[in-house]
Structure 1
Amino acid sequence: MPFIDSKVSVKTTPEQRKELKERLGQAIALIPGKSESWLMIDLADDQNMFFRGEGEAPTAFIAVNIYGDPNPAAFEKMTAELTKIYGEVLGIAPDHMYIKYAASHDWGWNGNNF
């Protein structure tokens, strides 16, 4: 039950959104027990974002939410991969991204909670 909530300041093309979806689907497997088959993604683009008081440079905020226990070692690998993906696909510099992780045992799906 992973969810990646992605907000970026740049306008994306359909091709870029497709590439992000595909690469995020592969990257989620860096977290043990997670796969694209359960992954939900929100790709919000063209957001009014300011970082360090500036709003000109491409910026991203990415939140990765998972069901289960936190895995700091996997999150470290995921940060490196997300930084690479957003840099290559959208041209966002690593120092203009925040990546947040949250793990929860309170997760609902299909009318029930796990």
Structure 2
Amino acid sequence: MLSLAKNTNLLVMFLLELGVLASVGYWGFVVGQNLPVKLLLGLGGPALFIAVWAVFGAANGATIPLTGAARVLLEVLWFGGGAMALVMAGRLAPGLVFAAVYVVNAALRLLWNQ
């Protein structure tokens, strides 16, 4: 049963990663003033987040994998960025839920050494 919970937690982590990209994209398309700006922010924001995650955060594929406090800082900025994107796009409740799910997920990963 614990194995199922651990695997579910890893799935939630992956879904949170996708959620960050969706949140940042949503933010870009909502706050942009005109179509070119919407496209730049809505597509460029997630692209920037993808690049940062690929270089520093991807579990086994990161070019410069971070550990310890640097990894914690990256995750807080990454997932906090997703939550803040929702809040800045006028979606306070989903942003707060996103942040809460991340905190629970991170605590369980820490507890289970994931």
Do the two structures share a fold, i.e. TM-score over 0.5?
no
User: Normalising by the residue count of structure 2, what TM-score does the alignment of the two structures yield?
Assistant: 0.35
TM-score (norm 1): 0.35
Using CA pairs under 8 Å that are at least 6 residues apart, name the structure with larger relative contact order, 1 or 2: 1
Larger fraction in helix: 2
